[in-house]
Amino acid sequence: MFVFVRCKKKEIMKKVKALVITGFGINCEEEMAAAYKLAEAEAEIYHLNDIFNGITSIHNFDVLNFPGGFSFGDDLGSGKVLANKMKYKKMDSGKTLLEEIKIFLNNGKFILGICNGFQFLVKMGLLPNTKGNFDQEVTLTRNNSAKYEDRWIYLKKNPNCKTPFLKDIDVMPCPVRHGEGKLIIKDKGIKTEILNQNMNAFSYCDADGNITSEYPLNPNGADLDCAALTDPSGQVLGMMPHPEAFLSLYNHPNWGQLKRQNPDISEDGAGLKIFRNIVKHVTSSINL
Q: Give tens-digit pLDDT for 128-186.
A: 999 999 999 999 999 999 999 999 999 999 999 999 999 999 999 999 999 999 999 99
- At 150, is the secondary structure helix, strand, or coil? strand
Q: Which residue from 151, 118, 143 is spatially nearest to 222, judged by alpha carbons?
A: 143
Which stretch of 6-20, 103-117, 252-266 has the lowest confidence by average pLDDT? 6-20
pLDDT at 35 over 60: yes
Map out the domains of the chain as residue ranges.
17-286
Q: What is the pLDDT of residue 81?
A: 86
Q: Is residue 258 left, alpha or beta, with left meaning phi > 0 and alpha meaning psi from -120 to 50?
A: alpha
pLDDT at 6 over 60: no
- At 116, is the secondary structure helix, strand, or coil? helix
Which amino acid does the sequence have at 146? Answer: A
Are β-strands 63-66 and 17-22 bridged in parallel, bridged antiparallel, or unpaired?
A: parallel
Let me know if 244 is a catalytic residue: yes
**Per-residue confidence at 13, pLDDT binned at 50, 70, 90?**
confident
How far apart CA 106 and CA 93 sit, in angstroms, is 18
**Per-residue confidence at 1, pLDDT binned at 50, 70, 90?**
very low
pTM: 0.94
Identify whether the C-beta of residue 127 lies closer than 8 Å to the C-beta of residue 229: yes
Let me know if 242 is a catalytic residue: yes
Marked catalytic residue, from 29, 100, 137, 244:
244
Residues pairing with 185 in the sheet: 138
pLDDT at 245 over 70: yes
Q: What is the pLDDT of residue 11?
A: 57
For 67-118, how does the pLDDT look when each residue is reduced to its tens digit (9 = 90+)? 999 887 766 676 888 888 888 889 888 899 999 999 999 999 999 999 999 9
Are β-strands 63-66 and 42-47 bridged in parallel, bridged antiparallel, or unpaired?
A: unpaired
Q: What is the pLDDT of residue 76?
A: 65
Q: Name the DSSP class of 118.
A: H
For 213-230, how does the pLDDT look when each residue is reduced to its tens digit (9 = 90+)? 999 999 999 999 999 999
Q: What is the pLDDT of residue 79?
A: 80
Task: Count CA atoms closer than 13 A to 33's CA, side-chain side.
Answer: 13
Let me know if 115 is a catalytic residue: yes
pLDDT at 17 over 90: yes
Marked catalytic residue, from 28, 115, 205, 226:
115
How far apart CA 146 and CA 81 sit, in angstroms, is 22
Q: What is the pLDDT of residue 83?
A: 87
The average confidence (pLDDT) of the chain is 93
Query: In the CATH scheme, what architecture does the domain 17-286 have?
Result: 3-Layer(aba) Sandwich (3.40)
**Per-residue confidence at 2, pLDDT binned at 50, 70, 90?**
very low
Identify whether the C-beta of residue 241 lies closer than 8 Å to the C-beta of residue 247: no
The residue that leads in pLDDT, 61 or 4, is 61
